[in-house]
Amino acid sequence: MKYLLFLLVPALATAQKLPQHLKAYLQKIPNTVQVNVAVEELEGKTQFYHRADELPPAASVIKLPIMVETMEQVKAGRFDLEKIHVLQEAEKTGGSGVLKTYPDQSRLTNREVLTLMMTHSDNTATNILIRELGMDNINQRMRSLGLTQSKLNRVMLDTLAVKQGRENRVSAREMNALLRKIYRQEVATPELCDQMIEILKGNRDQKTFRLFLPPSTVIAHKTGELTYVRGDVGIFYVRKPFLLSVFVQGTTTEDAERIIGEIAQICYNQFQ
C-alpha cells in the first residue's frame, strides 16, 4: 500500500491545520486497518486524537512505564542502578534483545539492564526488571500518575498469557501523558528524567517515526512490535516540540511502519 500522497509537497503540511491534514490522511487508509493516534504540541495548543482512548496491544511500548517505575524506585532508594546483576541462564527470554546471547553468569549493572530494555527492546532485561520492581508496583505507579487504562498484564513472551487474553495494553493518549510528565520532570527527579530522555534518544529502531525524517531529527521514543501490532511513542525535539503516539493493527508490519512514518512526517512538517 502507498500512503505518500500527502507527502509529495512538503509545504502542504504547513499550509493546512494539522488536525484537518491528519484527518484527511487517515481517511485514505482502509477500514480494515486500525490506527490509534495522539498528537500534542508541548508548548502550544495544537492537538489531534484519533481512537486515542482505545487499548491496542502495547508490545514493547509497555517498557516505557516500566522505566518510569524503575526511576521512581531509584528515587525512593529501593533500587540501585549501579548494583551488579548476575545474569542467570534461566532468565534468558527469546524475541528482541541481546542479553539472550550473553554467557551465563555475565555481570552487568542495573543501569545497563534498564538501558538495554529501552534501546534494544531487550525482553530478557524487561523480565528481570519486572521481577525486581514488581508487576503490581508498575501498575500502581501508572494509576497514581493518572494512567487509568494502560496495564502491564504479563511478562515478555508469555504466550500462554496471550492465549488466555492477558495482553499488555496502553492507550495513545496515556502514553503521551506519561511522556509529558517525563518531559516536564514531573516524575522521579529532574536528573532521573534527564537520564530517561537520554535513554529514549538511544532507541535503535529506525523503521517507524524516523522512516521519512532527516537523520538529524532528535526523537526520544520507544517502539513496539508484535506480528499483530506496530507502535511508536515519543517526544520530538523540533522547532515546536511535540508528543506523538501511534499504534497500527490490521496490516503487514511494513505497511504499519509506513503509516507510522508518514504520520510522523506530517506532524514534523507542521511543527518544524
Residue 7 has a pLDDT of 47
Instruction: For residues 57 and 150, give the distance between their C-alpha atoms in angstroms, rounded to a whole number.
Output: 10
| pLDDT tens digit sequence for 199-229 | 999 999 999 999 999 999 999 999 999 999 9
Residue 157's pLDDT band, with cuts at 50, 70 and 90, is: confident
Query: How does pLDDT run across 10-31, given as a tens digit for each residue?
Result: 434 444 589 999 999 999 999 9
DSSP of 3-34: -GGGGSSTTHHHHS-HHHHHHHHHHTS-TTSE
CA–centroid distance for 259 within its chain: 16
Answering whether pTM is above 0.75, one says yes
Q: Where does the pLDDT of residue 161 fall: very low under 50, low under 70, confident under 90, or very high at 90 and above?
A: confident
Whole-angstrom CA distances from 99 to 91, 123, 181, 191, 270 are 9, 8, 30, 27, 39
Residue 138 pLDDT exceeds 50:
yes
Length of the chain: 272
16-25, 64-73, 85-94, 178-187 — which is least confidently predicted?
A: 16-25
3-class secondary-structure state, position 224: strand
**Residues 6 or more apart in contact with residue 101 via CB below 8 angstroms:** none
For residue 16, the model assigns a pLDDT of 53
Q: What is the signed CA dihedral for 196, 200, 201, 204, rounded to 10 degrees?
A: 150
